[in-house]
A and B are shown apart, each in its own frame.
Chain A
């Protein structure tokens, strides 16, 4: 029960209190892309959740055994990227072997959903704030759900933000960023007024 609560609390924190998009702005460019089509919402979010969750478990092992090394923080990005790459290639190989139809659909954007700021950023944040493997897993899972929430909120507004009613210069990317900023302000209420930006 304690394990379950650890995972759930870490996930809830990463969804609402430290949402990767609204609180950290990590993966915004991917969010803009994912929110264009409904089918992308779940594809991107699922890929991010899966990659961060599985990678976080492996990252925890490295953090536990190498965390005390003085050079570890310098080589962390390389190690994390190698972990993500192994998870990515291994998973794709399995899907290619057993679910070729799904592979054809996934390969169009799977690289974009795996190699982006949100995945690598989530691993770093899990490393900074996670205490045990369950909090790492919860943080990884929550990252994907938090991304889905952000992408859905943006998707529902995308039509209006791209409408001719919006001034031409603000249509698309600038309008969407301002909109995410307003949502970010709303989410800021979850953290109160004492959290630091970083």
Chain B
């Protein structure tokens, strides 16, 4: 299967903190200092990396509804050595200050969702590298957040005083964290969009179509359906979505559940593809028709707006 997955996605395009928001609780509430953010990074990296590698070995014959429990149990098992090492490295006081935000890392969506929707699609070697990139992407975001918030809240970095004109004590609080991450995510996306438009990358709807095609191929592999027909339907579904929320849903609803969750969209897309194909059959040579011709037009105004991809693609 042709695999279009880009290994750099985890750093920027699908950054877990600023782009997809897959893991925000520890960032918002806990990373108020550099030391605490490093502790979060360490535990997250150890738990996620090894848990995902182990989860890949879990047979796919087990239904996802049950398999997800094994994922979290695997993460909880790796949490034990991770937290013991973290206590040795950072000291018990830092770990205790991090409170409940270290244990909750075992239920992060990188393990529970991305394993299903992305990592299973890749060969073992590529998957390992991809997981590493996602982990590094999170670590960079987490550390940067810790540095900025500590600087703004206390006027220090790693405990060392930095001469700044003023401090913003609210950065230590949860709502300060929300505002920091929200504004940070907006700016991150704005820069990403600007660079993307400068680089004249493919338009978002093409990315959506590619994403849908990847997912379509994945599902075809799992369900033995006619590949072309399935991909065609997913491309139509991708074009139909207003702000890719439906596609984002696939990150959470995985494997067989995706089919049911997408039933309505698929049915709609199928109808439109059928109508379009029928028209084309009458008007032109059907074999010569390009794939794009099968995508429904935006008659109801629900096509993907070009500027909409910035924020909503994960």
Whether A89 and B193, one on each chain, are in contact in the complex, defined by CB atoms closer than 8 angstroms, is no
A73, closest chain B residue (CB): B83
| The stretch of B97-105, B117-125, B227-235, B266-274 that contacts the partner chain | B97-105
A124 CB to closest chain B CB, in angstroms?
4
What A residues does B175 contact at CB under 8 A? Answer: 22, 181-182, 184-185, 188
A171 CB to closest chain B CB, in angstroms?
5
Q: Is the interface of A mostly helix, strand, loop or mixed?
A: helix
Whether B69 and A115, one on each chain, are in contact in the complex, defined by CB atoms closer than 8 angstroms, is yes
What A residues does B241 contact at CB under 8 A? Answer: none
Across chains A and B, the number of contacting residue pairs, with CB separation under 8 Å, is 192
Whether A77 and B103, one on each chain, are in contact in the complex, defined by CB atoms closer than 8 angstroms, is yes
Q: Please report the C-alpha to C-alpha distance between residue A167 and residue B24 in the assembled complex, in whole angstroms.
A: 22
Which residues of A98-134 have CB atoms within 8 Å of chain B's CB atoms? 104, 107-112, 115-117, 119-121, 124-125, 128
Whether B22 and A29, one on each chain, are in contact in the complex, defined by CB atoms closer than 8 angstroms, is yes
| The stretch of A8-16, A62-70, A78-86, A140-148 that contacts the partner chain | A78-86
Partner of A121, one of B25, B84, B174: B25
- Chain B interface category by residue count: 35 or more
Partner of A81, one of B28, B30, B76, B252: B76
Which residues of B238-273 have CB atoms within 8 Å of chain A's CB atoms? 243, 245, 249, 252-253, 257, 260-261
Partner of B28, one of A25, A85, A168, A175: A25
Whether A169 and B80, one on each chain, are in contact in the complex, defined by CB atoms closer than 8 angstroms, is no
A95 CB to closest chain B CB, in angstroms?
11
B13 within 8 A of A: no
- The verdict on A171 contacting B107 (CB below 8 Å), with A25-B25, A197-B172, A197-B173 known, is no
Whether B311 and A173, one on each chain, are in contact in the complex, defined by CB atoms closer than 8 angstroms, is yes
What B residues does A77 contact at CB under 8 A? Answer: 76, 79, 103, 106
Q: Please report the C-alpha to C-alpha distance between residue A44 and residue B77 in the assembled complex, in whole angstroms.
A: 27
Q: Mind listing 16 A-B residue pairs with CB under 8 Å?
A: A23-B174, A26-B104, A33-B249, A81-B106, A92-B65, A115-B68, A116-B107, A121-B100, A121-B103, A168-B310, A169-B189, A173-B20, A177-B24, A178-B182, A181-B175, A182-B179
For the A-B complex with A29-B22, A117-B25, A182-B175 known, give 4 more contacts whose Cβ atoms are closer than 8 Å: A29-B23, A29-B109, A178-B186, A184-B178
Binding site for B on A (CB under 8 A): 22-29, 32-33, 36, 74-78, 80-82, 84-85, 88-89, 92, 104, 107-112, 115-117, 119-121, 124-125, 128, 162, 167-182, 184-185, 188, 197-198
* Top 4 closest pairs, chain A to chain B, by CB: A181-B178, A178-B182, A177-B182, A198-B99
